[in-house]
Amino acid sequence: MRRKHTTFLLIGTILYGISGCVWDGCGNQEVSRVASPDGKLAIVIFTGDCDGPSEFDTQVSIVPRGTRVDTGLGNTFVAQYPHGDYLANWTRPKTDVRWLTDRTIMISTDVPKTTLVQVSKVSVPTGLFSRAQVSIEYSITQP
């Protein structure tokens, strides 16, 4: 009985991997990275890519120095254009970032069609029991 259970578990794991459920095809491509004045954090601008032509986005995350943003949604700002608008404008939502202080950033962006995430504070892990609180200010620019 134990052998059947082990065999079933092994076959199930293999089928799960083959079906693409382990890797969903989504990934992020880093566009730029700006270190904080004290060098402990970074603002990362990146785009998400899920192998689909329906949406084109610009995302921003604030992360500890050296942290990659290979997968996942931006923790600070995410804006999308529908596919048709992307083709018409030939651009993703424009976004510029800069540090105002060690723990305050400014995000300047054109008015996106859809803003999925736009927060005013982010808590970034900086150690086992420590976090940095970062404030975010926004400036809307005209395309």
Is residue 7 a part of any domain in this protein? no
Is residue 101 a part of any domain in this protein? yes
Please give the pLDDT value at position 87. Answer: 46
Is residue 13 a part of any domain in this protein? no
Please give the pLDDT value at position 1. Answer: 57
Please give the pLDDT value at position 110. Answer: 78
Phi, psi angles (nearest 5°) of residue 104: -140, 130
Is residue 107 a part of any domain in this protein? yes
Residue 92 carries which side chain, given as an amino acid letter?
A: R
C-alpha–C-alpha distance, residues 125 and 132, integer Å: 6
Please give the pLDDT value at position 19. Answer: 42
C-alpha–C-alpha distance, residues 106 and 98, integer Å: 5
Please give the pLDDT value at position 129. Answer: 94
Please give the pLDDT value at position 38. Answer: 96
Range of the domain at 92: 25-141
Please give the pLDDT value at position 90. Answer: 45
DSSP string, 53-112: SSEEEEEEEEEETT----SS--SSEEEEEEHHHHHHHTSPPPEEEEEEETTEEEEEEE--
For the chain, the domain total comes to 1
Is residue 76 a part of any domain in this protein? yes
Residue 80 carries which side chain, given as an amino acid letter?
A: Q
Is residue 65 a part of any domain in this protein? yes
The pLDDT tens digits along the chain (143 residues) read 556 555 544 454 454 444 444 444 567 888 899 999 999 999 999 887 655 555 567 889 999 999 988 777 779 998 876 655 544 444 566 788 999 999 999 999 876 667 788 899 999 999 899 999 999 999 987 76
